[in-house]
């Protein structure tokens, strides 16, 4: 929950309060409310009415489509699974509350703070990206870490100790069936939590590398239909931001389509900035990078346009989309305003016209392209373990690919001189607004979306509104203002405000519990280095992405399935005859 909400009083008064208050248990707040009514000899509302009041204060929630970041989704489900295990354990209530609070703290840390703590020079072994992403087997993907790693993060200690303690309590369960089921769920949950930590560390390293590319690069480009370009000059430290958006009505998002779109955008950028001769690229990675031909074709495109491509850094899987959304956010607002003004959005031309609505967005150019069926060529090549590539450095005769940016020299791969021809053509260029072109589709206005402006009375407290200026002038002339008189608060309103104060004090108690838990964990005499789960974060290269090998069925399993199918077929024939 975030932001503010409004509590309405019987007198019409509105009291703003933080939506974080709504995270409290409703039943606890009602109990405190009842106690207050008994102390003041006030006949309070019934429990059902109180529940209705609390339920009416619904908080707004930020929703993310499941699947945009599977690591986070699975990690949140893992902590929820551990909470369910703790809830069903036969342990004292005080221990159960403490463990649930530790789980809440650990989940919140992995969601919000962990990435910000990771860096190349961290003295904490679980936050050091150089140590966690150096491959101990491949020298080209390894870099020596100079940190002593003598510091332990208190939040990370909480994660390790919480997992260890839950595992110990599972081992003490007397019911073997319950123990076996809980252990299975625990192992899966712990693995997802560890993978979430790997994901955060890799994302932090790629974000740092992209920040460095902005500082040293002449141009930084975002590979998407929504594209951001940043230019710098060698003679000044100021940044001039340019954004290029390419809209398509239909696209299958193949490697050929993505490369064709990138060629159109880079070509326009070169026309706008002829003095730029070197390029650093950065790209999000909403899905797993698996294109063998893309790295070499990108250099081929830049060579054709007279630009030297130096490096290309990719975000961690399912990360980096925030850059694209930030650049295109204003353009999307213009598009929504254009649609709300009675226009339909049914093709790419409409998207361009909507984003150029009301003067467009400063330093943003929009074009429309279409894919020509049967047009375009893309040669094939092969890069070993291409799905793990996160950084590419381009040389004259070969390119160096790395599993993490700025970690190791990278593995050398020679160019194969593969062919590429674009599959797109521009239908509306970047330089000409859509209003200056003949629109192939007629404008369809919707009467239910036509904006009607209303005039409000300027007197403070007056709630009168008017459609025409003449009505407003008459209202002001005769001084007929609608201002509700202030009324004193009723006993019911006083009880409501007390309910809010009670919840607020409960929130303060929660912060006190967090501080107490961290103090006890820090002062514990048990060495965290002896933890089984801590050892999974203390080995060289612990955060590298690994390929999951699929175990094929053996002959015995295949024969069992075949026998079962033949047996079912035999029984079916006997039944029908």
Does 496 reside within a domain? no
pLDDT for position 421:
92
Does 412 reside within a domain? yes
Does 166 reside within a domain? yes
Token pair, residue 288, equals: 């797993």
Q: Do 248 and 313 fall within a single domain? A: yes
SS3 237: coil
Asked if 346 and 443 touch (Cβ cutoff 8 Å), the reply is: no
CA distances, 328 to each of 12, 230, 241, 252, 258 (Å): 41, 14, 13, 21, 18
pLDDT for position 80:
92
- Alpha helix positions (H), 40-113: 47-56, 70-87, 93-112
Sheet (strand 411-414) strand order: 411-414, 398-402, 391-394, 308-314, 278-283, 219-222, 226-232, 239-248, 364-371, 424-428
Compute CA 339 distance to the chain's CA centroid, rounded to the nearest angstrom: 27
SS3 221: strand
In the 8-state DSSP scheme, what is residue 58? P
Cα distance between residue 79 and residue 162, in whole Å: 11
> What DSSP assignment string belongs to 410-473?
-EEEE-----EE--EEEEE-TTS-GGGS--SS-----GGG-----EE--STT---EESSHHHHH
Token pair, residue 443, equals: 């404008």
Q: Do 156 and 56 fall within a single domain? A: no
Does 469 reside within a domain? yes
Overall domain count for the chain? 4
Counting beta carbons within 10 angstroms of the beta carbon of residue 118, is it exposed (0 to 12), middle (13 to 18) or buried (19 or more)? buried
Helices (H) and strands (E) in the chain, counts: 15, 16
Q: Do 508 and 476 fall within a single domain? A: no
Cα distance between residue 158 and residue 109, in whole Å: 10
Q: How many CB atoms lie within 10 A of CB 517?
A: 19
Asked if 29 and 37 touch (Cβ cutoff 8 Å), the reply is: no
Does 544 reside within a domain? no
Backbone dihedral angles phi then psi of residue 425, each to the nearest 5 degrees:
-140, 145
- The enclosing H or E element of 523 equals none
CB-side neighbour CA atoms (13 Å) of 292: 14
SS3 402: strand
Closest CA to 257 of 27, 420, 461, 468: 420
pLDDT for position 368:
92
Token pair, residue 435, equals: 């209003």
pLDDT for position 21:
56
Token pair, residue 220, equals: 């930084």
Residue 41, Ramachandran bin (φ over 0: left; ψ between -120 and 50: alpha; else beta): left
Counting beta carbons within 10 angstroms of the beta carbon of residue 308, is it exposed (0 to 12), middle (13 to 18) or buried (19 or more)? middle
Q: Do 247 and 195 fall within a single domain? A: no
Which residues contact residue 29 at a Cβ distance below 8 angstroms, ignoring those fewer than 6 apart? Answer: 54, 499, 502, 503, 506
At CA 92, angle to CA 89 and CA 94, rounded to 5?
Answer: 115
Range of the domain at 569: 4-60+551-575
Q: Do 241 and 278 fall within a single domain? A: yes
Q: Do 175 and 274 fall within a single domain? A: no
Asked if 70 and 536 touch (Cβ cutoff 8 Å), the reply is: no
pLDDT tens track of the chain, all 577 residues? Answer: 445 677 777 667 777 766 655 555 566 677 777 777 777 777 777 777 777 777 666 544 444 443 446 788 888 899 999 999 999 888 888 889 889 989 988 898 888 888 888 888 888 888 888 888 888 888 888 888 888 888 888 888 889 889 999 999 999 888 888 898 999 999 999 999 988 888 888 888 877 766 544 333 333 333 333 333 333 333 333 345 678 889 988 877 788 888 898 899 999 988 988 888 888 887 776 554 567 888 899 999 999 999 999 988 887 776 766 666 666 778 888 888 888 887 888 888 888 988 888 888 888 889 999 998 888 888 888 888 787 888 889 998 899 988 887 788 888 899 988 899 998 999 999 888 877 775 444 445 444 444 445 567 777 767 677 767 788 788 888 887 777 666 666 777 777 667 666 655 554 455 566 667 767 766 665 666 667 777 777 777 777 766 655 566 778 887 888 888 888 877 776 665 5
Cα distance between residue 273 and residue 262, in whole Å: 16
The pTM for the full model equals: 0.58
pLDDT for position 320:
63
Does 364 reside within a domain? no
Q: Do 55 and 75 fall within a single domain? A: no
Residue 320, Ramachandran bin (φ over 0: left; ψ between -120 and 50: alpha; else beta): left
pLDDT for position 394:
92
Q: Do 82 and 202 fall within a single domain? A: yes
Asked if 126 and 200 touch (Cβ cutoff 8 Å), the reply is: no
Q: Do 263 and 405 fall within a single domain? A: yes
Asked if 6 and 15 touch (Cβ cutoff 8 Å), the reply is: yes
Closest CA to 133 of 570, 545, 549, 559: 545
Q: Do 218 and 205 fall within a single domain? A: no
Does 189 reside within a domain? yes
Q: Do 406 and 459 fall within a single domain? A: no
Closest CA to 19 of 31, 7, 9, 32: 7
SS3 369: strand
- Alpha helix positions (H), 341-378: 348-355
Closest CA to 314 of 119, 131, 539, 545: 545
Cα distance between residue 146 and residue 303, in whole Å: 39
Counting beta carbons within 10 angstroms of the beta carbon of residue 210, is it exposed (0 to 12), middle (13 to 18) or buried (19 or more)? buried
Token pair, residue 546, equals: 């690994």
Does 464 reside within a domain? yes
525-546: b (≥16 Cβ within 10 Å) or e: eeebeebebbebbeeebbbbbe
Q: Do 315 and 463 fall within a single domain? A: no
């Amino acid at each position: 929950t975030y932001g503010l909400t409004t509590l309405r009083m019987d007198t019409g008064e509105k009291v703003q309060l933080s939506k974080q208050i709504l995270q409290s248990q409703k039943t606890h707040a009602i109990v405190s409310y009842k106690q207050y009514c008994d102390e003041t000899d006030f006949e309070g509302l019934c429990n059902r009415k109180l529940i209705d009041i609390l339920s009416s204060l619904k908080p707004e929630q930020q929703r993310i489509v499941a699947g945009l970041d599977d690591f986070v989704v699975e990690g949140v489900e893992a902590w929820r699974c551990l909470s369910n295990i703790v809830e069903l354990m036969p342990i004292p209530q005080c221990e159960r509350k403490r463990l649930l609070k530790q789980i809440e703290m650990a989940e919140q840390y992995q969601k919000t703070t962990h990435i910000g703590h990771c860096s190349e020079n961290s003295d904490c072994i679980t936050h050091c990206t150089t140590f966690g992403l150096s491959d101990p087997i491949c020298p080209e993907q390894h870099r020596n870490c100079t940190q002593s790693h003598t510091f332990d993060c208190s939040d990370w200690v909480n994660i390790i100790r919480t997992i260890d303690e839950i595992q110990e309590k599972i081992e003490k369960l007397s019911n073997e069936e319950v123990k076996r089921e809980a252990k299975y769920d625990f192992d899966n949950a712990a693995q997802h939590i560890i993978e979430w930590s790997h994901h955060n560390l890799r994302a932090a390293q790629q974000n740092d590398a992209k920040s460095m590319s902005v500082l040293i690069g002449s141009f930084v480009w975002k590979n998407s239909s929504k594209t951001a370009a940043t230019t710098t000059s060698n003679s000044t430290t100021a940044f001039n931001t340019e954004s290029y958006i390419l809209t398509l009505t239909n696209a299958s998002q193949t490697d050929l389509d993505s490369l064709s779109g990138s060629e159109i955008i880079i070509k326009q950028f070169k026309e706008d900035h002829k003095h730029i001769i070197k390029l650093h690229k950065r790209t999000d990675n909403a899905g797993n990078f698996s294109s063998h031909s893309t790295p070499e074709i990108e250099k081929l495109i830049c060579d054709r346009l007279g630009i030297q491509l130096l490096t290309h850094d990719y975000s961690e899987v399912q990360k980096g989309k925030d850059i694209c959304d930030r650049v295109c956010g204003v353009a999307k607002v213009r598009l929504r305003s254009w649609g709300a003004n009675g226009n339909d959005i049914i093709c790419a031309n409409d998207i361009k016209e909507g984003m150029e609505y009301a003067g467009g967005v400063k330093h943003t150019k929009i074009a429309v392209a279409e894919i020509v069926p049967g047009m375009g060529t893309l040669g094939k090549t092969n890069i070993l373990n291409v799905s793990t590539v996160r950084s590419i450095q381009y040389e004259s005769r070969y390119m160096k690919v790395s599993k993490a940016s700025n970690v190791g020299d990278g593995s050398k791969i020679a160019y194969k001189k593969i062919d590429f021809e674009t599959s797109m053509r521009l239908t509306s260029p970047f330089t000409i607004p859509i209003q200056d072109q003949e629109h192939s589709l007629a404008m369809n206005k919707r009467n239910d979306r036509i904006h009607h402006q209303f005039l409000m009375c300027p007197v403070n407290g007056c709630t009168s509104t008017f459609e025409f200026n003449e009505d407003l002038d008459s209202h002001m002339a005769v001084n007929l203002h609608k201002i509700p008189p202030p009324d004193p608060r009723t006993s019911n309103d006083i009880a409501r405000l007390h309910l809010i104060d009670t919840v607020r004090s409960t929130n303060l108690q929660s912060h006190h519990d967090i501080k107490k838990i961290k103090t006890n964990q820090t002062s514990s005499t048990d060495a965290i280095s002896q933890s089984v789960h801590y050892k999974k974060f203390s080995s060289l290269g612990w955060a590298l992405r690994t390929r999951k090998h699929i175990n094929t069925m053996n002959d015995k399993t295949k024969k069992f399935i075949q026998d079962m199918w033949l047996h079912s077929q035999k029984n079916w024939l006997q039944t029908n005859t």
